[in-house]
Amino acid sequence: MEKLPLVRSSILAAALFFLDGPVTGSGAISLLLFAAILFVALPLLVRALARKDRPRAGQLARHAAIYSGAAVASLCFNLWNDTAAVRRAGQVVEACKEFQAKNHRWPETLEELTPEFLPAIPRANYTLMFGHFQYSATGGTCSLSYVNNPPFGQWVYHCDAQGPLLMRYPRAKKRGPPLRMASLFHGIFQSSLS
């Protein structure tokens, strides 16, 4: 009788992983799963153990393990995806700088970089939504961005900046200058270029 709920929980956990990782890449569902396990499943598990209801405690522990596994897998996928996106963005920015050095202007589109500076335009990350780079060349400079934490978190690289990695939240009501994250991510960016 326990097998059907475990199969159902496994299917639901796999669907939540797929939605949170490969579809959106946000990690929000994983955090909600961890909160549900911490504030709902764990107290119920402790209560079952206090009442010496071992079958119920075992059932809760198995379900909590299934959902925890899905949440950890999703967070690991998102971490891998974000790390790869930083490396790919560094490659695209370097190609833009090489283009600018050779042509004395920034490329109008990323397609101008192929095949001389890049073999192909890479995806920002491997998600079904928000997976592409956005590029803009205006006012004598260029910027490259991609969505990191949907829907608001966005990494923005300014091609001519010394510390190119900036983070901004475009839909925030108060808009101040972007937060310069170069000191934190400059090492990642530099190591991705070598």
- Give, to the nearest 10 degrees, the angle between helix 182-193 and helix 54-103: 70
Residue at a domain's end among 65, 80, 95? 80
Number of domains in the chain: 2
pLDDT at 122 over 80: yes
pLDDT at 173 over 80: no
* Tens-digit pLDDT profile for residues 53-108: 888 888 888 888 999 999 999 988 888 888 888 888 888 888 888 888 898 888 98
Residue 152 structural domain: 81-193
Q: Is this structure's pTM higher than 0.85?
A: no
- Do 123 and 66 lie in one domain? The reply is no
- Do 125 and 165 lie in one domain? The reply is yes
- Do 86 and 76 lie in one domain? The reply is no
- Do 143 and 171 lie in one domain? The reply is yes
Residue at a domain's end among 80, 98, 130? 80
Residue at a domain's end among 80, 114, 133? 80
107 preceded by a cis bond (ω within 30 of 0)? no
pLDDT at 182 over 70: no
- Do 68 and 112 lie in one domain? The reply is no
- Do 109 and 15 lie in one domain? The reply is no
- Do 104 and 179 lie in one domain? The reply is yes
> What is the C-alpha separation between 22 and 16, in angstroms, rounded?
10
| pLDDT for the residue 151 | 67
